[in-house]
Amino acid sequence: MTTHWATPKDVNAGLAEVGYLADARIAQVVFLAERLDKPILAEGPAGVGKTALALALAEATGRSLVRLQCYEGLDEAKALYEWDYHKQLLRLQADEGASWGELEGDIFSEPFLLERPLLAAIRSEEPVVLLIDEVDRVEVETEALLLEVLDAFQVTIPELGTIRAVTKPIVVLTSNNTRELSEALKRRCLYLHIPYPTIERERSILNTRVPELPAVLADKIARTVAAIRQIPLRKAPSVSETIDWARTLLALGIEDLDDAATADTLHVLLKYRTDIEKTAKDLSLDFFEDG
Amino acid sequence: MLASLTEFVDELRTMGIPVSMVEVLDAASAIEHTDLTDSANLRATLGATMIKNSRHYPAFDAAFDVFFGLAGSIESDASGADGSLDPGGGAAGGSGDDDGLLDALVGALTQGRHDQLRRLISRAVTLYAGMQPGRPVGGRYYTYRVLRRIGTDELFAGLLAALVSPQPGREIDRRLREHEAESMVQAVRDELEREVTARLVADRGARQVAASRRLPLVEDIDLMHATKAEIAQVEQAIAPLARKLATRLAHRRKHGRSGRLDVRRTIRRSLGHGGVLLEPQFKPPRPSKPEIVVLCDLSGSMATFARFTMQLTYAIASELSKVRVFGFIDGLDDVTEYFGTDVDFADGLVAMSRQADLVRSDGHSDYGRSFEEMWERYSDSISPRTSVIITGDARNNYRTPGERYLERIVERSRATFWLNPEPRRYWDTGDSVMSLYGSRCDVVDQVRTLRQLEDFVERATLPTVRRPRLAS
């Protein structure tokens, strides 16, 4: 292991150095994941920093990041490995005189293997951080592909045998909870639910990510966003949208958040017309007169 | 530690949270890497290793508080602290010092001094809860007594006044203050509940208190009698389920050779026999776009449940494009427009109850007439690609059942599902004609909780064999 954190506090400090503000719970789970060699399954609403956690972990530990973006229809050939059939075909044609035995052993060997993210993470000489992003997007059947990797950090290729990890990767899976993941997958992971941050934490995030922002405004923004999240909306504002909002206000030179300024910039924070109207109503902004 | 862990796991399982053996072992080895002096660390450790569903966290947290979270939170000797923070009010213990407590609470909350708040609450419980050891009274009773003494409305007003006052033209500041005051009152409630629980645990032991405080899991909440807060929880859990149902209904069996030739896979496969194209490979057929028609009983007896089915439908509609919703009481109307993707759900419900034309005569359910209207007016919305979902208790108020219209609807659809929120044993009692209708549908299920809905979704695969068409 390149980095070995002694306590969860060190994890917190290490992540803070690269600009990721974890809370005590996140730090504890990351610490456990490293100690127990278990993957982290981070779940929570979109835009609260699940993917950012993996990126920050890679930066804090100095490891490189291997990323597998999940989507519907993802299969073995794109997640694990694939035989380079073009190359195999060429090899067959180039060597017409060769005996079958030679050829067979040859075309199913390493040079003809195309590494996909999971295999790449396993075979890497240097320890890596493996990010399996939006795992809830793949079908339940495809999830099974991941189990061997998550369980024992190994991949079995029928023609080559089992490939074990040289170095143990830190694995982070993220899910937006659009569907229930299978029990088998969850059992193998440490579960980390990341909710929306508290006002204090969001304020610190703003201070870190948008350092030019005046402290008074940051406080006001954090409080406003917290209030907006109390309203039942189709899509509550995420942390990344809060940051966008802060940057927008800064760019517009708005130094204090009054009714008009809020109403004019609400669309940065909220992405549905009905949500914007509802929020304006709840915060008693004269949205329509201004617009 | 190990003993209390197994006891805790027992409690989790009793509540209905599935905790596997492997997960308990994980928790046990994770505890070795946990700093036990801070209960927050232990909470994170146990949560991460054993609770794998965000829906179960409220129940987990409540149980954790009882078992591990409360050590040292009881302040039996709070007099020193009180004296220093209570300048205006009388000495603690008198009956006229309510204002002193209120002011002190407001002070502690607005200055964000949590330890102070805790001491105050502890003091308040000692003074006002009137707890007696061994008395078999639930914690809620004590919490309520103290809250009544403090006065939540007065507390709210006090907080509003203490927070920075708004300038003119700053409506937003006023609303923010209200939001903050609300969450502060909630903080007082939470702290109070914790304190009371802590004392109960000291009195009776963790197991007994945990049993009396047990919260139903979201998936076990009875949808017919859910409270407002419970409904809110349920609604949050619905989206993943709706998505699953949508994909289930879209699912089609993979046929061997119904797609186009897949050149890449054909060549790839041929390498097994030295490049000879022996086995043609085909692309899997495209998944069909399912159409869904929902018929929803919106009569008074179904109000809570109807809200839930509408929410489910609303969530499905954001996954699939072709969803049509019909509401009925003793008349039927197309209510799809109230639940489009650009309409807020709550607004849609209000608009629907105001504008939709659901009542023909007396406003009691009339399934027969509703099915008839469905067939006469909207039969073109049902095709062999349509899955029909009917939700209702089949209580027809002894009117003409009109099952032949339902029969026609079923016959024309791809599959028809009936979800009845009533317990099975009440079916066919009184004015319920469930069997008459149910025997004509493909799947009939009792759906009263999220768990049952989940089971239904799990089983709701479409019939693989096409129903024999009745000659008309």
pLDDT digits (tens, 9 = 90+) for A101-148: 777 777 888 888 888 899 889 888 899 999 999 998 888 778 888 888
Quote the pLDDT of residue B87.
38
Average pLDDT over residues A225-230: 89
- Output Rg (C-alpha) for chain B, integer angstroms: 29
Pick from A89, A282, A285: CB nearest B275: A89
Task: Examine the pLDDT at B89 and tell me if it is beyond 70.
Answer: no
Rounded Cα gap, residues B94 and B101, in angstroms? 11
Res B168: pLDDT: 61
pLDDT of residue A156: 86
Better-predicted residue by pLDDT, A286 or A201 = A201
Question: What is the complex's ipTM, to 2 decimals?
Answer: 0.86
What average pLDDT is seen over chain B? 79
Q: Give B193's pLDDT tier (boundaries 50, 70, 90).
A: confident
Interface probe, candidates B49, B52, B339, chain A, greatest A C-beta count within 10 A: B52
Distance (Å) from the C-alpha of residue A96 to the closest C-alpha of chain B?
A: 11
The share of chain A scoring above pLDDT 70, in percent, equals 97
**Which chain B positions have a beta carbon within 8 Å of A278's beta carbon?**
344
Smallest CA–CA distance from B284 into chain A, residue: A73
pLDDT band at B135 (very low <50, low <70, confident <90, very high): confident
3-state secondary structure of B339: helix
If pLDDT is split at 50, 70 and 90, which confidence band does A173 have?
Answer: very high
Mean pLDDT of B111-130: 83
Burial B243-272 (b: 16+ CB within 10 A, else e): bbbbbbbbeeeeeeeeeeeeeebebbbbbe
Nearest residue on chain B to A107, judged by CA atoms? B271
Mutate to test the interface with B, among A26, A29, A32, A109 (most CBs of B within 10 A): A32
pTM equals 0.77
Instruction: Please name which of A249, A193, A191 lies closest in space to residue A221, comparing C-alpha atoms.
Output: A249
C-beta atoms of B45 and A234 within 8 A: no
Question: What pLDDT sits at residue B99?
Answer: 58
Point out the residue among B20, B182, B240 whose CB comes nearest to the CB of A187: B20
Give B343→chain A minimum CA distance, Å: 6
A193 in contact with B, Cβ within 8 Å: yes
Among B348, B347, B326, B352, smallest CA distance to B339 is for B348
Of residues B48, B172, B232, nearest to A29 (C-beta): B48
Mutation pick from A190, A196, A198 vs chain B, by most beta carbons of B within 10 Å, is A190
d(CA B297, CA B277): 58
User: Taking CB atoms and an 8 Å limit, are A193 and B57 in contact across chains?
Assistant: yes
Highest mean pLDDT among A23-37, A102-116, B102-116, B238-252: A23-37
**Average confidence (pLDDT) over B140-167:** 81
Question: What whole-number distance in Å separates Cα of residue A44 and Cα of residue A236?
Answer: 12
Task: Please give the pLDDT value at position B242.
Answer: 78
User: What integer pLDDT is reported at residue A15 of this predicted model?
Assistant: 92
Record: contact A28-B170, CB cut-off 8 A: no
pLDDT digits (tens, 9 = 90+) for A52-61: 999 999 999 9
Nearest by CB to residue A85, choosing from B33, B232, B271, is B271
Nearest CA in chain B to A90: B275
Q: What is the mean pLDDT of residues B264-273?
A: 81
Each residue's pLDDT tens digit, A10-26: 999 999 999 899 888 99
Whether the pLDDT of residue B375 is over 80: the answer is yes
Rounded average pLDDT over B317-342: 82
Contact: B240, A179; criterion CB under 8 Å: yes
- Identify which of A232, A203, A225 has the alpha carbon closest to the alpha carbon of residue A215: A203
CA distance A275 to B222: 30
Is pLDDT above 60 for B178?
yes
Encoded amino acid at B6, one letter? T
B40 pLDDT more than 60: yes
pLDDT of B248 over the 80 cut = no
A267 is written with which tokens?
Answer: 């669309």
Q: What percent of chain B has pLDDT over 90?
A: 12
- Model confidence pLDDT, tens digit, residues A57-96: 999 999 999 999 998 888 888 888 888 888 888 887 777 7
User: Which of residues B358 and A218 earns the better pLDDT score?
Assistant: A218
